[in-house]
């Protein structure tokens, strides 16, 4: 078998794997110098969080707090599915509660240092509430991401994508 036939065979196999993954709702990501590319969408980290750019370099979604959210959203965009508004809302809420956790932690420590009993009580309650809120929303994002990863593992075990 000559080199061009091997190259064509590999290209066909690669194309079949991608098509079968796509049928199961997964677009394989590719690592790039700037970030992660999912089909024509690229996920890039900047000082404001994660941003998803389309093939023309326009930001489709920006200010995402978690990479998992960006991957889920970019995968849905690549599949031309409706965006999952719940994942986007949970990303915003988890990011906001993560900020609140850091803020209340700082204020709690400052209240302890200053022997401010009212502040200690107030910020300890607020800190617990913020942590619980963060866990709840981050759990939703992580669950969706893990479902996608489990789908890939199931496909690997059954060899349906090859």
Contact 55, 38 (CB under 8 A): no
- pLDDT band with cut points at 50, 70 and 90 for residue 136: very high
**How many residues comprise the chain?**
162
Distance CA 92, CA 148 (A): 21
Q: What pLDDT does residue 25 have? A: 84
Res 72 pLDDT > 90: yes
Spatial distance between the Cα atoms of 34 and 57, rounded to a whole number of angstroms? 12
DSSP state at residue 55: T
Band of pLDDT at residue 40, cut at 50, 70 and 90:
very high
Q: What is the mean pLDDT of the chain?
A: 88
Distance CA 30, CA 12 (A): 18
Strands 41-46 and 29-31: unpaired
User: What's the confidence (pLDDT) of residue 134?
Assistant: 94
Q: What angle do CA 92, 90, 33 make, to 5 degrees?
A: 65
As a whole number, mean pLDDT of residues 68-96 equals 90
> Above 60 in pLDDT, residue 114?
yes
CA angle (23, 32, 152) in 5-degree steps: 30
41 forms bridges with which residues in the sheet? 38
Kindly report the pTM of this predicted structure.
0.79
pLDDT tens readout for residues 14-27: 777 777 778 888 88
């Amino acid at each position: 078998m000559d080199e061009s036939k091997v190259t064509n065979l590999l290209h066909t196999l690669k194309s079949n794997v991608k098509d079968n993954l796509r049928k199961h709702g997964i677009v394989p990501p590719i690592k790039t110098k700037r970030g992660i590319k999912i089909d024509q969408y690229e996920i890039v980290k900047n000082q404001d969080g994660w941003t998803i750019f389309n093939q023309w370099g326009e930001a489709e979604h920006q200010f995402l707090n978690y990479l998992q959210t960006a991957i889920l959203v970019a995968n849905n965009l690549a599949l031309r599915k409706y965006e999952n508004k719940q994942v986007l809302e949970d990303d915003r809420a988890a990011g906001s509660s993560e900020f609140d956790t850091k803020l209340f932690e700082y204020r709690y420590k400052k209240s302890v240092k200053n022997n401010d009993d009212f502040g200690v009580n107030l910020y300890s309650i607020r800190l617990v509430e913020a942590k619980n809120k963060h866990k709840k929303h981050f759990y939703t994002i992580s669950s969706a991401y893990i479902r996608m990863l489990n789908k890939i593992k199931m496909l690997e075990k059954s060899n349906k994508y090859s």
